[in-house]
Amino acid sequence: MNAAARLKLPPVVMPEQDPAERVHNVREVPFGFTPAMALQEAQRCLHCANQPCVEGCPVGVRIPDFIQAIESGDYLAGIGIIKQTNLLPAVCGRVCPQEDQCQESCMVGKAHRDVGQAVQIGQLERFLADWERENHAAVIPQIPPPSGKRVAVIGSGPAGLTVAGDLIKLGHAVTVFEALHMPGGVLGYGIPEFRLPKEVVYAEVAYLTRLGVDFQYNTIIGKSLTVDEVRRDYDAVFIGSGAGLPNFLGVPGESLLGVYSANEYLTRANLMHAYDENSDTPILRGQSVAVLGGGNVAMDSARTALRLGALRAMVIYRRSEEEMPARKEEYRHAVQEGVEFHFLQNPVEILGNREGWVTGLTVQKMQLGEPDASGRRRPLPIAGQTSNVPADVVVVAIGNNPNPLIPAALPSLQMNRHGGIITDEDTMETSVPGVFAGGDIVLGAATVILAMGQGRKAAHAIHALLTSTTETAKD
């Protein structure tokens, strides 16, 4: 097929659960491509010589090559190509903000002047990864003889899993310490089932276990074991402890009954299965749920509220639709499901009744001014324009900060102003020799793929450290 013919092919429409039905269950929304659909979508790729999509991918997945493999029906080769640079394609295919990365740079989208027309790279990635999982086709690599070196990984989020996977394949012994009783970090407790089935996450962990990674749950480094003990027992340490410290607004009323951080709301629903009526973990099933924020976390909370039976789920965001950081697909899905969006509204107070239960909030109308440091137009209050929004559950989804547990336990770590660990850009080594860090604990709340990218860099540097002939002295 020539380029002109390829350019004429319309994007394959992803089959999805009907919105009216899916708000009553927690099953995944998009069903995934069939092989025929994947082939048709793969045929839309122009195989550009300069590969702008690869540039756009934070870890440089060889996108046209894996798409070519789909076209020629060699799925095993295709998934192999992705996995050279991306350990968790089943996750990334589902949750990466492709429209800001590979798909934004895609020439097909550019030709149509619409990023929505770009090759659906994420869906193709998901297709291959699901094919591999469903067919038990994961290749167990040839692992070199044991190096005799031991690596401790703190946290089982995407950063930690990447480091563990890379280093076990190089022959090092790897132990992952996880504070919770389940693996995956935010992939497990935060991102809801209907967007990322936990089965997908646990399959990746099971694969690492098969390769020999030792997972120690219910183990908090800095509490169950001191950082010094870990440094003594292991040849290198990777900190991937994430950004699990929820921000609150600092407005009156945040202690009222029925006010949740998004982390608590989603953890109750996901990790503790509160969406199941028979779960021991309770959750307040509001009739009218107000979610404060505009990112993926806010979309996830509002859509979870609907699945918990809310009649009304509102997203209240202080900027406009354009500035919303959420993935486009999440926004689209939320709108389809009936989530209401209140833009340019800034919550200034949460209201309650005499018994201390939340009854609603007062919002201040905003307008957009000049761009701020983030490049987005700054929201400014319009004097005198406030109104009240009724709600019986309020979810605060305005972001998270780096988890302070490890920094508190290892005071010699150099930190930045935002509570993130300072690392060398290339090696991810911290100010403490032999201790590396990556993911949200370094970047602040960022993305899965950036966490994995940093994990990969760190694994590289740790391997170099462990195999260097001149043994680096440990202090």
Partner 1 sequence: MNTIRRREELGRNVIRYIVDAPLVATHRKPGQFVIIRVTDHGERIPLTIADANPEMGTISLIVQSVGKTTCEMAMLRPGNAIHDIVGPLGRPTHIQRFGAVLCVGGGIGTAPLYPIAKGMKEAHNRVITVLGARTHGLLILEDDMRNVSDELIVTTDDGSYGTKGLVTDAIRSLVNGGAHIDQAVVIGPPLMMKFTSLLTKELGVPTMASLNPIMIDGTGMCGGCRVTVGGEMKFTCVDGPEFDAHEVDWDSMIRRLGTYRTAEQGAAERYDHECRIGLDAGEAR
Ligand X SMILES: Cc1cc2nc3c(=O)[nH]c(=O)nc-3n(C[C@H](O)[C@H](O)[C@H](O)COP(=O)(O)OP(=O)(O)OC[C@H]3O[C@@H](n4cnc5c(N)ncnc54)[C@H](O)[C@@H]3O)c2cc1C
| 26, 38, 42, 53: which one binds ligand SF4 (CB under 6 A) | 53
What span, in angstroms and rounded, lies between the C-alpha atoms of 192 and 14? Answer: 20
Draw the binding track, 267-296, toward ligand X (x: CB under 6 A; -: no contact). -----------------------------x
**Distance, CA of 118 to chain centre:** 22
Locate 262 and state its tokens: 């998004």
Site map (CB under 6 A) of ligand X, residues 236-255, x = contact: ----xxxxx-----------
Q: How far is the CB of 103 from ligand SF4 (least distance, A)?
A: 8
**Residue 103: helix, strand or coil by DSSP?**
helix
Residue 46 binding target from ligand X, ligand SF4, partner 1, none, CB below 5 to 8 Å by type: ligand SF4
Which 160-179 positions form the footprint of ligand X (CB under 6 A)? 160, 177-179
The verdict on 57 binding ligand SF4 (CB under 6 A) reads no
Q: Does 176 bind ligand SF4 (CB under 6 A)?
A: no
Output the smallest distance, CB 452 to ligand SF4, in A: 20
Site for partner 1 in 163-222 (CB under 8 A): 179-181, 189, 217-220
- What is each CA distance from 269 to 68, 275, 276, 331, in whole angstroms? 40, 5, 8, 20
Q: Where are the beta strands (DSSP E) in 121-275?
A: 150-154, 173-177, 214-216, 236-239, 245-246, 259-261
If contact means CB under 5 to 8 A according to the sort of partner, which of ligand SF4, ligand X, partner 1, none does residue 406 touch? ligand X
The three-class DSSP label of residue 456 is: helix
Q: Is 314 within 8 Å of 339 (Cβ atoms)?
A: yes
Whose tokens are 């169950």? That residue is 224
- Residue 43 or 247: the one with the smaller Cβ distance to partner 1 is 247
Considering the rule CB under 8 A, would residue 244 count as an interface residue with partner 1? Answer: yes
The DSSP result for 393-442, as a single string, is EEEE-S-EE---HHHHH-TTS-B-TTSPBP--TTT-B-SSTTEEE-THHH
Establish if 95 lies at the interface with ligand X (CB under 6 A).
yes
Pick from 157, 258, 286, 420 the residue near ligand X by CB under 6 A.
Answer: 157
φ/ψ (deg, to 5) at 315: -105, 125
> At residue 14, what is the residue type?
M
Strand partners, 361: 350, 389
CA dist., res. 96 & res. 73, Å (int): 25
- Within 10 angstroms of residue 352's Cβ, the number of other Cβ atoms is 20
For position 415 contacting ligand X by CB under 6 A, the verdict is: no
- The backbone region for 434, taken as left when phi is positive above 0, alpha when psi lies in -120 to 50, beta otherwise, is left
DSSP 221: B
Q: Which of residues 83-102 bind partner 1 (CB under 8 A)?
A: none
In the list ligand X, ligand SF4, partner 1, none, the entry touching 356 (Cβ below 5 to 8 angstroms by class) is: partner 1
- Between CA 238 and CA 154 the distance in angstroms is 6
Radius of gyration of the chain (CA): 23
Contact range with ligand X by CB under 6 A, out of 43-51, 108-116, 235-243, 383-391: 235-243
Please state, in angstroms and rounded to a whole number, the distance separating the CA atoms of residues 381 and 373.
18
Which helix (H) or strand (E) segment holds residue 102: the answer is helix 102-105
By a kind-dependent CB cut-off of 5 to 8 A, residue 402 interacts, out of ligand X, partner 1, ligand SF4, none, with none
One residue of 26, 29, 96, 119 binding ligand SF4 per CB under 6 A: 119
Minimum CB separation from partner 1 for residue 404, in Å? 7
Does residue 42 belong to the site contacting ligand SF4 (CB under 6 A)?
Answer: no
221 is a site residue for ligand X (CB under 6 A): yes
Does position 407 interact with partner 1 (CB under 8 A)? The reply is no
Asked whether 398 and 347 are in contact (CB, 8 A), the reply is no
Q: Which does 218 bind (CB under 5 to 8 A by kind): partner 1, ligand SF4, ligand X, none?
A: partner 1
Q: Is the dihedral of CA 54, 60, 63, 69 positive or negative?
A: positive
Cβ distance to ligand SF4 smaller for residue 106 or 182: 106
Q: What are the residues binding ligand X (CB under 6 A)?
A: 95-96, 154-160, 177-180, 185-187, 190-191, 220-222, 240-244, 266, 296-297, 300, 327, 403, 405-406, 439-441, 446-449, 451
**Residues forming the site for ligand SF4 (CB under 6 A):** 45-48, 51-53, 63-64, 106-108, 119, 121
Q: Which residues here bind partner 1, judged by CB under 8 A?
A: 179-181, 189, 217-220, 223-226, 244-246, 248, 254-255, 257-258, 260-261, 263-264, 267-268, 272-273, 278-284, 355-356, 403-405
